C-alpha cells in the first residue's frame, strides 16, 4: 500500500481508502461488513470513509464496530455531515451550526472514537451562511473532535470562499471528495486546478463508475446476478442510467486489451487510472465481499504509461463526461427535509 499527503497538510492517508456508502448497514450484513473491513486492514488500508447519512447512521455504527479494538492512532477515520438523518426534521439536515455540532457528537458516538481525522461537508448548503458553517467547523476542530475539515462536490468558487474562511479561522480545509473516473471527468477543467492552487487534494468516489468499468456489464445483456445493478439495496438506481448507455458499455469492453497489457483486472485499471492524477490523494473503494478489497488494493502503486493513458482516451472517446457544470448542479439548492 502506498500513502499520500492529504492537501498541504502533514496527514498521510492510504491511496486506496475504504468507503461504506452503499454497503454497511444496507447491502451487506454486519458480519460480512466486518470481514470486509478486516480484509482492508490486512491489505494495508488505514483510511476509512463514511457519512452519518449512509443507511441513516447505521453505516457509522457498523464501521465503528468493525474497527473496535484497532489502535486508533494507526487509523484515519473520515465522516461527513449535511444530508438528512434520524427522523429528518427541519434541523436534522444541512450545515447550520446546530446540525453540525449535534451531528459530530452523534458520529463520534456511533464510530466509537473521541475524534475523526477528517470532518467533511457532504454538499454545499445554500440555505446557511458559509460563515456560520465554517465557524461551526472551526469550533469542532478546536474542541478536538476533528483534526481537519474537507468538503464534497463543491464548486471552485465555493472551495475558494471556504478555504479563505478556514484560513482566517485558523483551521485547515485540506480535501475535496468528488465523483471521478475514466468516464466522469467533470472536475478536471476547473475543480482540480483550483484545488492545486489552494493546496487541497481529491478523495474520489466511484472510480469504477458504479461498477461499469469492471466490464461485468455487456450491451444487450442482463445484469449478472449479485451485481449492484440487480440489488435494489445496493445502489441499483445509481447505475441504471449508465447501463442504459449501450455505446458506453461497448466502449468499456474495448479497455480489456489495455488492462491485459498491464496485467490488471478491469477494476484495477479503473482504480489505477484515477491515481495517475497528482491531485488525487486516494480512491474510495467499497466492497460487498472481502475478495473485492484485495483485488482493488492491487491498483496501489501501479504506473500507467502515457501511451496507454492516451489509448484509454481514444477507446472511450465522446462517452467521457467532462462538462464542469455538473459540479454546480450537484448540491441541492433548497434544504432537504
Q: Is residue 125 within 8 Å of residue 95, measured between CB atoms?
A: yes
- In sequence order, what E strands does 192-271 have? 201-204
What are 39's three cell numbers? 480484509
Q: What angle do CA 246, 180, 334 make, to 5 degrees?
A: 95
The span from the CA of 323 to the CA of 179, in Å, is 13
Give me the residue label for grid cell 498541504: 8
Active site residue 126: no
Round to whole Å and give the CA distance between 322 and 306: 20
Catalytic one of 18, 54, 119, 148: 54
The C-alpha atoms of residue 298 and residue 268 are separated, in whole angstroms, by 7
Which residue in 135, 273, 268, 283 sits closest to 201, CA to CA? 283
| DSSP result, 85-104 | -TT--TTSSSS-HHHHHHHH
Q: Provide the annotated active-site residues.
A: 54
Amino acid at each position: 500500500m502506498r500513502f499520500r499527503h492529504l492537501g498541504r497538510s502533514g496527514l498521510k492517508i492510504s491511496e486506496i481508502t475504504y468507503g461504506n456508502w452503499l454497503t454497511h448497514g444496507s447491502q451487506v450484513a454486519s458480519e460480512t461488513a466486518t470481514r470486509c473491513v478486516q480484509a482492508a486492514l490486512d491489505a494495508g488500508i488505514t483510511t476509512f470513509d463514511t457519512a452519518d447519512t449512509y443507511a441513516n447512521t447505521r453505516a457509522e455504527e457498523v464501521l465503528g464496530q468493525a474497527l473496535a479494538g484497532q489502535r486508533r492512532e494507526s487509523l484515519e477515520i473520515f465522516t461527513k455531515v449535511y444530508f438528512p438523518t434520524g427522523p429528518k426534521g427541519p434541523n436534522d439536515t444541512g450545515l447550520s451550526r446546530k446540525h453540525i455540532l449535534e451531528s459530530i457528537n452523534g458520529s463520534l458516538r456511533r464510530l466509537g472514537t473521541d475524534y475523526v481525522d477528517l470532518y467533511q461537508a457532504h454538499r454545499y448548503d445554500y440555505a446557511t451562511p458559509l460563515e456560520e458553517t465554517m465557524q461551526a467547523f472551526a469550533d469542532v476542530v478546536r474542541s478536538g473532535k476533528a483534526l481537519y475539515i474537507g468538503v464534497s462536490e463543491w464548486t471552485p468558487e465555493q472551495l475558494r470562499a471556504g478555504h479563505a474562511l478556514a484560513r482566517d479561522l485558523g483551521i485547515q480545509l485540506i480535501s475535496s471528495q468528488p465523483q471521478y473516473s475514466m468516464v466522469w471527468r467533470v472536475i478536471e477543467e476547473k475543480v482540480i486546478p483550483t484545488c492545486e492552487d489552494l493546496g487541497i487534494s481529491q478523495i474520489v468516489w466511484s472510480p469504477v463508475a458504479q461498477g461499469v468499468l469492471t466490464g461485468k456489464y455487456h450491451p444487450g445483456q442482463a445484469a449478472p446476478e449479485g451485481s449492484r445493478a440487480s440489488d435494489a439495496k445496493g445502489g441499483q438506481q445509481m447505475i441504471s442510467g449508465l447501463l442504459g448507455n449501450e455505446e458506453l458499455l461497448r466502449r468499456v469492453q474495448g479497455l480489456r486489451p489495455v488492462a491485459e497489457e498491464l496485467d490488471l483486472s478491469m477494476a484495477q485499471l479503473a482504480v489505477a487510472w484515477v491515481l495517475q492524477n497528482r491531485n488525487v490523494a486516494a480512491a474510495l473503494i467499497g466492497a460487498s465481499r472481502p475478495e473485492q478489497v484485495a483485488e482493488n488494493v492491487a491498483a496501489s502503486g501501479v504506473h500507467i504509461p502515457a501511451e496507454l493513458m492516451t489509448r484509454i482516451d481514444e477507446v472511450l472517446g465522446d462517452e467521457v463526461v467532462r462538462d464542469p457544470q455538473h459540479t454546480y448542479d450537484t448540491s441541492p439548492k433548497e434544504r432537504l427535509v
